[in-house]
Structures are given as structure tokens and as C-alpha cells.
């Protein structure tokens, strides 16, 4: 899609939010959830909405989101300001439950919509890659052998990309085993976010 024949962003968002490509596989039905504006400076790429987010239609409106905002050092007003922060997960709808948590994000979202949406995000200065699916897509061969190694090597991807673990309460053990995340990465990330958004 060239810049000359791009549809208006609002029209594209209507198409995305009306998407029914994988309706047959979604236990709660389709409800694509994302946040985007052409003026956004930060992009958050996560996995897929959980049940709580599906019910409200608000991205990261759950305990994981509360932790993520604390990691970023921003309040809800900044986080949900689409003019500043875009939120495009790898999967836009709740995928259902598996044996050890939610199922992976479905591939259809990225295949159908991601590149089209990214065309409008020309001012992004920092992309937060939360979890293995976002890191696999955006880092490709630059990923390390494990998520921990990828996040530990965060300085290799800056200043525009930053890999993070998922802020789920289930990852408390990971945080305890990797104290460098809170002592080194988080202060650097907050500083970069303040620099990009121009707020402190």
C-alpha cells in the first residue's frame, strides 16, 4: 500500500474493528481491541487481549496493564492518549484458554492488518515489544535463544526497540530471578519514555 492510495486511518480502523476473519475460532466472539493515532510517538506491541480486556474493550485494562504502566512510569491519562501512545497487539481478539494460560495470538491479525496500520505510524520513536510473539515478529533473526536472553540484551536493540517480558502476575518469579530488569532496564526505559513524550 503506497502513501498515495492509503485509505483514511478512521476507515481502516473501522475495517479492523469489523474484522471477522477468525470468528469461528474465538470462544467469546470477535472484538478487535487496539489504540492508534498517526501522531503517536510510542508503540506498544503485546500478545492478545485477555478476558477482562475483552469484556471492557479497553487495552491493558487488567492487572498486567497496571504493572506495565508502573514499569513505564506513566498514568492512565498518558497511557490511553492515542495521540501519544499506540497499542497494537499481535492478536486483536481474545484467543481462548489453553492448558497453561491464554492461547497464542492468532496469526490472521498480523497477516491482514499489521503492515497497513504501521503505515500510519510515521512518528514512532520507541516500540515496546512485550513477550515472545512481538519479539519474534519485530526482531526476527536478531532475537536471542530465549526471551530472557533477548530482554537481557535490550541495549542491542535501542534506542527505538525495547524487548520486555509480559507484565503478568504469573511472571513474578521471573522478576525475582532477574533483578537487573528492575535495577537497570526499567530506569532506562522510563528515561527514554520521558524523552520521547516530553513529559516528566
Contact 34, 118 (CB under 8 A): no
pLDDT tens by residue, 4-19: 557 899 999 999 999 9
Determine the Cα–Cα distance for residues 82 and 139; give it in Å rounded to an integer.
24
The pTM of the full predicted model, rounded to 2 decimals, is 0.95
pLDDT tens by residue, 46-100: 999 999 999 999 999 999 999 999 999 999 999 999 999 999 999 999 999 988 7
| pLDDT for 199 | 66
pLDDT tens by residue, 120-150: 999 999 999 999 999 999 999 999 999 999 9
pLDDT tens by residue, 166-198: 999 989 999 999 999 999 999 999 999 999 998
| Dihedral angle of Cα 21, 24, 25, 27, to the nearest 10 degrees | 120
Cell numbers representing residue 113 in the block: 492488518
Q: What structural domains and CATH numbers belong to the chain?
A: 9-197 (3.40.470.10)
Amino acid at each position: 500500500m503506497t502513501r498515495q492510495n492509503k485509505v483514511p486511518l478512521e476507515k481502516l480502523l473501522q475495517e479492523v474493528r469489523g474484522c471477522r476473519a477468525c470468528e469461528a475460532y474465538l470462544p467469546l466472539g470477535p472484538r478487535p481491541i487496539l489504540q492508534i493515532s498517526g501522531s503517536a510517538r510510542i508503540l506498544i506491541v503485546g500478545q492478545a487481549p485477555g478476558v477482562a480486556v475483552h469484556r471492557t474493550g479497553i487495552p491493558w485494562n487488567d492487572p498486567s496493564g497496571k504493572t506495565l504502566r508502573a514499569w513505564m512510569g506513566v498514568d492512565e491519562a498518558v497511557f490511553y492518549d492515542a495521540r501519544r501512545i499506540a497499542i497494537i497487539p499481535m492478536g486483536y481478539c481474545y484467543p481462548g484458554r489453553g492448558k497453561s494460560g491464554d492461547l497464542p495470538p492468532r496469526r490472521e491479525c498480523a497477516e491482514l492488518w499489521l503492515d497497513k496500520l504501521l503505515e500510519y505510524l510515521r512518528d514512532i520513536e520507541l516500540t515496546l515489544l512485550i513477550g515472545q510473539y512481538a519479539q519474534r515478529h519485530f526482531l526476527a533473526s536478531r532475537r536471542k535463544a530465549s526471551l530472557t536472553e533477548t530482554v537481557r540484551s535490550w541495549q542491542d536493540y535501542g534506542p527505538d526497540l525495547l524487548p520486555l517480558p509480559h507484565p503478568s502476575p504469573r511472571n513474578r518469579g521471573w522478576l525475582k530471578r532477574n533483578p537487573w530488569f528492575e535495577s537497570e532496564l526499567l530506569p532506562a526505559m522510563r528515561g527514554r519514555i520521558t524523552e520521547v513524550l516530553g513529559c516528566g
